[in-house]
């Protein structure tokens, strides 16, 4: 995972560096998040709450699959443009801490609108279906077998 932008969050006694694999953030575009706690994640556990225009979603913090020494989210997309936030609750040897990264601006999705993208991407499939239908109607293998009998 290549981090291109970082933000710092103070969650009680724990300083967290939040890393993003893409910047600026865009809706419906997948990216990786990393959450590196000063002093490492050993002996600590935590919860991440993602707040945004579509509501709140909480989950326990887990190791990033490719960067095992930090917590993180692998290939996650924020589904709508607007103002998002990340809230951390961490329990560790120095006690419990809560911190929040607020006003995380997510821009509109890149590229054409989603409906237009899906329409364009289904054109080849429709072409294949039309080709198979025409070829089947012209050959009609079942009717030729019956006529020969």
For residue 145, what pLDDT band results from cuts at 50, 70 and 90? low
pLDDT in tens, 52-94: 999 999 999 999 998 999 999 999 999 999 999 999 999 999 9
Residue 103: closest CA among 27, 52, 60, 46: 52
pLDDT for residue 112: 78
In terms of Cβ atoms closer than 10 Å to its own Cβ (0-12, 13-18, 19+), residue 131 is exposed
pLDDT in tens, 109-143: 887 777 888 888 898 999 999 999 998 888 876 65
pLDDT in tens, 2-34: 899 999 999 999 999 999 999 999 998 999 999
- Number of neighbouring beta carbons within 10 Å of residue 54: 12
- Number of neighbouring beta carbons within 10 Å of residue 138: 7
Superfamily of domain 5-106: Macroglobulin (MG2) domain (2.60.40.1930)
The C-alpha atoms of residue 68 and residue 131 are separated, in whole angstroms, by 49
pLDDT for residue 144: 57
pLDDT for residue 146: 60
Strands, sheet with 31-37, edge to edge from the N-terminal-most edge strand: 5-11, 14-20, 31-37, 71-76
Rounded mean pLDDT, 32-59: 96
The C-alpha atoms of residue 143 and residue 56 are separated, in whole angstroms, by 60
């Amino acid at each position: 995972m290549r981090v291109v932008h970082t933000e710092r969050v103070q969650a009680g006694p724990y300083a967290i560096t939040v890393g993003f694999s893409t910047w600026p953030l865009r809706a419906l575009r997948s990216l990786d998040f990393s959450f590196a706690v000063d002093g490492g994640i050993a002996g600590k556990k935590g919860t991440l709450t993602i707040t945004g225009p579509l509501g709140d979603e909480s989950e326990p913090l887990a190791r990033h699959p490719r960067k095992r020494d930090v917590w993180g989210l692998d290939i996650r997309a924020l589904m709508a443009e607007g103002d998002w936030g990340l809230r951390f609750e961490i329990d560790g040897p120095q006690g419990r801490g809560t911190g929040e990264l607020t006003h995380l601006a997510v821009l509109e999705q890149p590229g054409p609108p989603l409906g237009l993208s899906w329409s364009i991407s289904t054109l080849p499939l429709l072409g294949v279906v039309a080709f198979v239908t025409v070829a089947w109607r012209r050959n009609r293998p079942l009717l030729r077998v019956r006529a020969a009998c």
